[in-house]
Amino acid sequence: MVTQRHILITGASAGLGRALALAAAAPGAVLHLSGRDAGRIGAVAEACRARGATAQGQVADVRDAAAMAAWIAGAGRLDLVVANAGISAGTGGAVEPAATARAVFETNVTGVLNTVLPALEAMAAQAPGPDGLRGRVAVVASVAAFVAAPGAPAYCASKAAVQRWAEALDATERRRGIRLHAVCPGYIRTAMTARNDFPMPFLMDAEEAARRTLAGIAAGRTRIAYPWPVYWGARLAGALPLGLRAALFNRLPAKAAQLDEAREQGPG
């Protein structure tokens, strides 16, 4: 159940972001949705309005700090901000190109900073809501945050960075009446994962991932990781000795080297 009324979601035109927007859409809800494709984000906003919500679609690039700050400042009250926009790429079994590493970090880390930092300041200046909080921020990471897979070094590292940052921030931002949530999904059926040429255990629909994400936020969990078998599998793999882990992962199929430029699919 979604208790927040004023919600902002980045990367909302596809994948998990779209599913979250539709799950939150209801009479009385005010949704601010961003994506990079005008047609797709407009269609999602229209679908949310059909469910009774007030919804506005915004073409925005999370890498643009000034544009993101201006958009967030002009949104009015924000009860929940979901920093969902992200991209994915692997090595394809080769060396990860420098341009790929920079692109992944620029969107998955800098883009999250460009979303969360202005949101925190906006929330700190607003009055507490019915739940006693000034606002909540959910950062979409991945179970990939818990294992350094050689097949996707920049992706794993970028998700680890934002997962650790969100969890650390939660402890201090509570003093200002703000909660942080690190969302760590496993494999979600999206256009991003459709390119994966390897088994994806417990692959779930975006709608189910959205349900679990919103349920975790409602329950007040700082870390929202699902499904449990994939989460604990990643934790166990991450705890292996470095040499053994590298040897194991080097025997497995690597994530495709093609850089996903959608910036709105969610975890890969």
Q: Is 86 helix (H, G, I), strand (E, B) or coil?
A: coil
| Cβ pair 224, 184 in contact under 8 A | yes
State the CB neighbour count (10 A cutoff) for residue 41. Answer: 27
| Residue partners of 104: CB distance under 8 A and separation at least 6 | 87, 88, 89, 154, 155, 158, 259
Best CA proximity match to 253, nearest among 101, 159, 104, 150:
150
Which structure tokens are listed for 131? 């739940």
Please identify every residue annotated as catalytic.
155
Residues 78-116 as b/e (b if ≥16 CB within 10 A, e otherwise) read: bbbbbbbbbbbbbbeeeebeeebbebbbebbbebbbbbb
Nearest to 180 by CA among 143, 217, 132: 217
